[in-house]
Amino acid sequence: MQKHEYAQALNACDQVVALLPAYQHEALKIKGDIFMLTGRFGDAEQFYSQLKDHKSWPWVWLGLAKSMFQQNNFKKAAEILNQLIIEHIAYIEAYDWMAKVQQSLADSHGAQRILERA
- Mean pLDDT to the nearest integer, 14-25: 96
Residues 69-105: tens digit of each pLDDT: 999 999 999 999 999 999 999 999 999 999 999 999 9
The answer to whether 68 touches 104, Cβ cutoff 8 Å, is no
34-42, long-range: CB within 8 Å, 24+ apart, which pairs? 34/1, 34/6, 34/9, 34/10, 35/67, 36/63, 36/66, 36/67, 36/70, 37/6, 38/6, 39/70, 41/67, 41/70, 41/71, 42/67, 42/71
User: In angstroms, how far is the first alpha carbon of the chain from the final one?
Assistant: 32
- Mean pLDDT to the nearest integer, 36-49: 97
CA–CA distance, 29 with 101 (Å, rounded to integer): 22
pTM assigned to the model: 0.92
Rg (C-alpha) for the chain, rounded Å, is 15
Higher confidence at residue 104 or residue 52? 104
What percent of the chain is modeled with pLDDT above 70?
100
- Mean pLDDT to the nearest integer, 28-55: 95
Q: Reduce the DSSP state of residue 54 to 3 states and report it.
A: coil
The answer to whether 45 touches 64, Cβ cutoff 8 Å, is yes
